Chain A
Amino acid sequence: MATDEELIAAVAAGDDVALTTLYRRWERPLHAFLARYTGGRDVDDLVQETWLRVVRSASRFDVRRRASTWLFQIALNLARDHHRRAPAEPVDPERVAELAAPDPLGPVRAGLDVARLLAALPEPQRAVVVLRHFHDLGEDEIAAVLDVPRGTVKSRLHHAMAKLVALARGDATEGAS
């Protein structure tokens, strides 16, 4: 079975079968990443843009890099650009308290709204949490995706976890800060 790196090299030469294989391998992770990172806004458009950029940039892919790092980096950069053009509505600090509010349907549905918890995080922290907790990337790999030092990843992760704990406890003041 061809590796992702081999498939990217073939895509650079215009191989449509390689693109289909790579797409099917990565469709779900990239879609899920963008859905969590953006809160579900324009995910299909971003997925499409990500793949078009993959095809355009495949010839510049550095084979010493991991394909996963490169793909997440492209998706993340596009999502950031997209949000700069159309900024998300800010999370209302008053509503953050609802995150931990008792669910009227009782214990079956009682739980934390992950999408809203993630939305309440600042963008750099959200990217780290999504890549670490939902895609199981190591700190070094996240650092490569974000192009920041590993220490920055650790620090963002720690701040994010502290904020998530505060939000989960219903501490609106912490969530707003």
Chain B
Amino acid sequence: MRYRLQFVLLIAAAVVVATGSSFRKAAAEGSLGRIFSHNTRAHKTGKYSNCSSCHSLPTRNWTTPRRDKLPAFPDVRTFPSHTSCFGCHTKDIYSAGGAFCGTCHVVPTMRARAVLAFPIRSHPSQFTTLFPHSTHQDLIAEKRNDSDFMAAHFIPAAFVVSDEKPKVPTFYNCSICHQNLVQIPKNVPRKLTLFKPLSEPAADTFTRPVTAEFFKDSPDGHESCFNCHYQFKNLPEEKKGCNACHELSPPYLEKKVIQRYSLKFDHQRPGHVEKDCTACHLRITQNKDVRAMKDADVPILSCKACHATQEDDEWKHILTTEIEKRETSIANKQPAFQCTYCHTSAIGRYEIPPSHR
């Protein structure tokens, strides 16, 4: 009996190992092409633990036009040179018709010349980004001009130096990295796991049509970081390298989808636009690691400050009004009222969280 159990476990373990290795192989050589892994012992130990043993900053091609259409700036724009690979992989180049070359080259042969666009966007990311909002909040403007904050979110070049003497100084603030979007991004309601829906989805109505300006961008490359940190400047001594911002992680595919509880929230709306970002993003000055950010970082407490007051204007007590409507509908055994001022039906039909009351 015991031997049979051991045999079954052994077979199961073998299946797991085989499946895992074939998955890795498929990922490495399958439809995505060969994927270089930074996370192998050989690629992350010894001299290779230093990123600059393979990558140079900037690469020689930095002046060429960029895929993202930004003005060219010194950046890592292509793969490491052959010398980085050939030290250990000479044999691989001469086997399988040079399939190994397909890791970086368009054509996987020994005669390959053109390289793939770098970085390869279809490949999973192998690094997460480290960013301490708290330290950056300590350093950016102590004081800023209100009109500047309202009207002048920085243009994509980030730190702009004007030739003309400006009437008001441009203070560095959140808009260095977070600007209004110019195109509506893919957006979905967040998934509610702790609450139950009380009614069926309903058609959404919008008093203000959703525009790109409802949403803010986040850095997607080196451009805003390099304004202060090019070649690892202005970093703590122990962080003067790529590891200041990049940490190895299990491969993952980046989702360029904005998830929100309140799809109807408009950052640019009067009443919102003139506010300091930290007036609502209450946790942001505390955040030491961007990966630890909780949801959108806007607790309902921020909304209550203006939308759950005793004042007469409807929108100033809309939160309490909608809660009352929900409770009345349930008490009258009618279909549960769906909250619509901030939420689409995907969220507004769910139970009201205790935090809202």
Partners in one complex: no
